Amino acid sequence: MRCKSKAGKSDLYRSHLSHGPITLGLACFLTMLKRIWGQILVLSGASGFADLRSNRFAPDAAKRYRRDQIIATLDQTQLLLLGNTLFAPILAFQALPSGSLPLLIGWTLVMVFGSWALFFWTRPLYRCTGEVADLTRMKQRAFIDGSFWWMGMACVYPHATGDAKALVAIIVTGAVALGTFGYSRSPGPGMIYLAMTCLGSGAVALVTGLTVGTPSDILVPFLSIFAFVALSKSVLDRGRAILQSFENVEKLSEKSEVVELLLKDYEAQATEWIWQADAAGRLTAAPDLIVQLLGGTDATQDDQPLLYRVGEKISPESRADFDRMTEAVRNREEFYDIVLAFPDRELDGLRWVVVKGRPQFDNEVFQGFRGIVADTTQAVEAERQVQYLAAFDNLTGLLNRNSIQKRLGDLDHQKDRVTAFLIDLDGFKQINDSYGHDIGDALLRAASDRLQALATDGAWAARLAGDEFLVVVPDTQTTCSKSRLMFGHEICDRLSEPFQLADFELQISASVGMARFPSDTDKGQDLLSLCDLALYDAKDGGRDRAHAFDQAMLDQLNRRIAVIERLKAAVRDQKIQLHYQPQHRLSDGCLIGFEALARWNDEDLGTVGPDVFIPIAEQTGLIVDLGEQILRNACTDAHGWFKMLGSEAPVVSVNISPVQFARTDVSRSIANVLAETGLPAQLLEIEVTEGVLISEKSRVATTLTELSTMGVSIALDDFGTGYSSLSYLKALPLNRLKIDRSFISDLAKDTESPIVSTVIQLGHNLNLQVIAEGVETDTQVDRLIESGCDEGQGYYYGRPMPLAEVNTYVAGCAATSRAGKTG
């Protein structure tokens, strides 16, 4: 029964095999393939197959990657298709003795004609763009191609015996090898082909071994699986290598594109390039800019030497550098810093280049020159602009101060004779402020044009600063000062003529200071200072005139410098003394106060009047410290009188300069001094002039109000000599008006003085006390009393006295006052 059973089972397999070996093989193969393919899908991630997909690239790169795979695979599978047509008949021949002839012939025809059909079907893929569908067609080709071989294995292998079966295995192995090589550039189709051939053939051998074969046939499937794994790894490894190569090429391409863009951008913006010339001097390499400057493409295509073309095109002003380069080229020596200028239509001017070159030798054989050429146009123009600005005024085009001072410094007193005219435009500031800076600049240009028209025959014209100009005219041995002063007046007349600027007709005047070289000074650099002294004298004399320098001006300047230096020391050492001039009530002659007056007796300069050192102190700023010293000393002295006389003590009047109002907090300073000295505020009077009120009226008014609130009296000094604005009298907290001495002196000549009477009446109407300065005679006293004046100050009552005399004077007045009350 057991044998029968076995025999029956064997017959059953033989029966199936004889009726449908392909069907049986296909059933077994599909079952095995399903299981193996499932494991392949599970292991694909671990094997790295997923990493080979094209979706890791950008769309364009992915297309290129797929197209490269397809075309390379098409090229390599041509040999496989040829092998199909050769090995198919041989494989079918091995099964003829026991196989089905129609089946074998049919498979052979399908294999041969199918391979050629595949060839022509996939031939258009050479023109593909690398779409996913193109790669799908390649996978379909691999599937069909592999299917041919495992079906051939199914038709032949079960019927082959002995050596024929070994030959079949060898042929199939060759087909696998050829397919592995053919599809190795495309991992997807390659894996499909290997699966169909290796696993399909192994399945056929397994079925054969289990049915009609020998135990050795059972070994073939395991060998097939091993071959599949080994060859799959090879396909995957080569796929990774191809992928890595493609990625490297893509990265290199991207870098190349970036580098190319950078190079193009550099070439577009670069200012330095390489040039080269051969041994004959012909230009072989140069940037486009240089080629164009040399005459276009002919510069590198004809046989003319480079030096010939450069010499033909350069501007004459670079001829010296060109000659230096020519000498170096002839001697085959290195040259550098050759600056050449070429006319350039694009710039509508000159294009400047700097050239460096070095001779090239090969085994001591001269090959030509190679070097660097740089576009230095901007640098040269910038340097020229700097040089221009260093020597010329940018607004007017005249020489500037630096340039004129250098020229004056270069004057030689043994051979040069010139007259310099320093010109200042009178009223320019008002025009500039009223009409705007554009009109002001236009006026300066127009004035400079007139000066240039006058400055002929080698004369220089310069703008020093603002509205100040200088004209230097050459002299001869016979040129006299009188004729040159007439030229100065001509400058004044010419600049006084109206200027038509835009829609405005403007008129100014000019003040001119003149000095001569070497008659006034033998140092050219001092000429400007001497002109300045003469100009100051011209402006002080009323403007619109020309004054010549004389030695008295320099003596006055030196005296002023000496006064400034000694005044600094005197203020520092507090050597400015106070004298006091008494002030009396006119009706009864009673002493009411003293005006503090500064006096300075210097050990080197002697006595220096306040009309000299006070203006200098204001101009130099020394008045701030000096004014505070005077205020403190006056309050200290007045406190002594207060201790002597109590409430009947005289008031002390102290002048406050406009500079003090501008630079210090006057009210706080006075409050501090009163607190330090202990002087009651009602015994201090502050005198201000109308000049204090001109600039910062609101600020000064606030300060005076604060002082009045403290109890300090406010007196308006020199009323009637300035603007005499009645708004001052109404708006300010004043207590007294002081009539200037110039009006009081007229009382001795005229029986009546309308001005004095008017001022007195005006003061009384405003509830102000009125004091007259410069009272010297009985007649003046009588007439002031008749006019209703309240108080007087002058030599009639006493000259300014030092403190010791003042104390005696105060004591005497106090005794007289007590005697009068007793009597």
**Three-class DSSP labels, 647-674:** HHCCEEEEECCHHHHHHCCHHHHHHHHH
**Does residue 805 share a domain with residue 730?**
yes
14 within a domain of the structure (yes/no): no
Predicted local confidence at residue 45, as pLDDT: 40
DSSP string, 545-580: SEEE--HHHHHHHHHHHHHHHHHHHHHHTT--EEEE
Chain segment 579-598, per-residue pLDDT in tens: 999 999 999 899 999 999 99
- Predicted TM-score (pTM) of this structure: 0.52
pLDDT band at 510 (very low <50, low <70, confident <90, very high): very high
- The residue out of 360, 382, 404 marking a domain boundary is 382
Q: Which residue has the higher pLDDT, 344 or 596?
A: 596
Q: What is the CATH number of the domain that holds 485?
A: 3.30.70.270
Contact 712, 667 (CB under 8 A): no
pLDDT, tens only, 103-124 = 667 767 777 776 777 677 767 7
Last residue of a domain, one of 354, 382, 410: 382
pLDDT band at 301 (very low <50, low <70, confident <90, very high): low
How many CB atoms sit inside 10 A of residue 776's CB?
A: 17
The answer to whether residues 71 and 49 belong to one domain is: yes
**Residue 421 — pLDDT band, cuts 50, 70, 90?**
very high
CATH number at residue 713: 3.20.20.450
Question: Which structure tokens are listed for 45?
Answer: 């991630």
Extract the tokens encoding 281: 């001097």
Q: Is the dihedral of CA 423, 426, 428, 433 positive or negative?
A: positive
| Cβ neighbours for 32, distance < 8 A, ≥ 6 positions apart | 199, 202, 203, 206
Asked whether residue 600 is domain-assigned, the answer is yes
* Residue 314: DSSP 8-state: S
Q: Rounded to whole angstroms, how far apart are CA atoms 317 and 625? A: 63
Q: Are residues 434 and 301 in the same domain?
A: no
Residues 288 and 192 in one domain: no
Residues 352, 277 share a domain: yes
Residues 339 and 312 in one domain: yes
User: Are 583 and 595 a contacting pair, CB within 8 Å?
Assistant: yes
Q: What is the pLDDT of residue 46?
A: 39
**Over the stretch 160-174, which tens digit does the pLDDT of each residue have?**
666 666 666 676 776
In a domain, 790, yes or no: yes
Tokens of 496: 């006084």
Could you tell me if residue 556 is inside a domain? Answer: no
Q: How far apart are alpha carbons 773 and 755 in whole angstroms?
A: 14
Q: Cβ(732)–Cβ(704) under 8 Å?
A: yes
Q: 462 and 596: one domain? A: no
Q: Are residues 798 and 818 in the same domain?
A: yes
Residue 554 lies in a domain: no
Are 289 and 216 members of one domain?
A: no
Residue 310 lies in a domain: yes
Averaged over 277-304, what is the pLDDT?
A: 76
Q: Do both 762 and 720 map to the same domain?
A: yes
pLDDT at res. 614: 93
Asked if 397 and 370 sit in the same domain, the reply is no
User: Residue 332: which CATH number?
Assistant: 3.30.450.20
The answer to the question of residue 567 being in a domain is: no
Exposed / middle / buried, residue 163 (Cβ in 10 Å: 0-12, 13-18, 19+) = exposed
Structure tokens at 614: 């006070």
Tally of domains within the chain:
4
Q: Which domain holds residue 28?
A: 22-250
Sign of the Cα pseudo-torsion (809, 814, 820, 823, in order): negative
Whether 170 and 297 share a structural domain: no
Q: Quick one: tokens of 557?
A: 């300047």
Beta bridge partners of 461: 471
Share of the chain above pLDDT 70, in %: 79
Q: Is the pLDDT of residue 358 over 90?
A: yes
**215-229 confidence digits (pLDDT tens):** 666 777 777 777 777
Say yes or no to pLDDT of 15 above 60: no
The reply to whether 559 falls in a domain is: no
3-state secondary structure of 515: strand
Among 308, 323, 320, 325, residue whose Cα is nearest residue 359:
325
CA–CA dist 273, 355 (Å, integer): 10
